[in-house]
Amino acid sequence: AQHHLVVEQSIPSHAGLGSGTQIALAVASALRTLHNLPLDIAGDAGLLERGGRSGIGIASFEDGGVIVDAGKNDRGGTPPVVARLPFPEEWRVILILDHSGHGLHGAAEVAAFRSLPPFPTAGSGEICRRVLMGIMPALVERDLPAFGAAVTAIQMLIGSHFAPAQGGVFTSKRVEMAAHRLNEAGAVGIGQSSWGPTGFAFAPSHDAALKFVDAVRKTTIEDGLEIKIVKGRNSGAKISSTRLNLVGS
């Protein structure tokens, strides 16, 4: 059967936001709903070859929240989700999007992974410690400074390792500069999403986020950068259907 698909709004592609997994699972779920088939998010992800490096895109589509996966193992398959915690409703994420560039993807991404040495065991251990003893308890206790400190530490470890392949800790120097300006204004937990170029920071409330962004906009922000204030999503994808009753004259 043939289907006509209209995408009214989408996540920017190759920006480090996991758009490929989300659109693939959205289309699969829409087709299943259209044909009254039960949803099979994990199965569809496998058929569509999503989740090879991370289980977070699949888990966020299914349930949302702050997700921790255990990483790849020698058995292959999607990395398992080992924890899921709600993102505090009052907190905000400040996204810094650079529309003039793209993060590594496709063949270039595969080549970059092959060119880099294995991630150091000591670095992996430090990341695990920061996640278990920093990020997770900070979410439970709604302690944004502790959460931000752990996120920044992890981002610097990962960014330094991937710097040879992406030209620095951040893919976009302009995003890096804006992230540091947000940090100086009061935002915490600066970093880059995946290969970027999208950067991020966190604020304790919407009003605080507005103040941080306003302070940065008063300085020079180059053309091509967009700053968004967004909430965390603690639920999975919502699928709805509308049936039109056409009456002939």
In the chain, what are the domain boundaries? 1-85, 86-234
Query: Can you give the pLDDT at residue 233?
Result: 95
**Which residue's entry shows tokens 């306003």?**
214
CA-closest candidate to residue 181, choices 248, 96, 101: 96
Return per-residue pLDDT of the chain as tens, 249 residues: 788 888 888 888 878 888 889 999 999 999 999 899 999 998 998 888 887 678 888 999 999 999 999 887 777 678 889 999 999 999 999 999 998 877 666 666 677 677 788 889 999 999 999 999 999 999 999 999 999 999 999 999 999 998 888 888 899 999 999 999 999 999 999 999 988 899 999 999 999 999 999 998 877 666 678 999 999 999 999 888 775 555 554
Which CATH number does the domain 86-234 belong to among 3.40.50.300, 3.40.50.720, 3.30.70.890, 3.40.50.10140? 3.30.70.890
**Other CB atoms within 10 Å distance of the CB of residue 52:** 14
Query: Can you give the pLDDT at residue 241?
Result: 76
CA–CA separation, 225 and 9 (whole Å)? 20
Query: Can you give the pLDDT at residue 249?
Result: 42
Query: Can you give the pLDDT at residue 235?
Result: 94
Q: Show Cβ contacts of residue 82 under 8 Å, excluding neighbours closer than 6 positions.
A: 68, 69, 70
Longest Cα separation, the chain = 74
Query: Can you give the pLDDT at residue 181?
Result: 94
CA-closest candidate to residue 15, choices 87, 89, 105: 105
Cis peptide before 38 (omega within 30 of 0): no
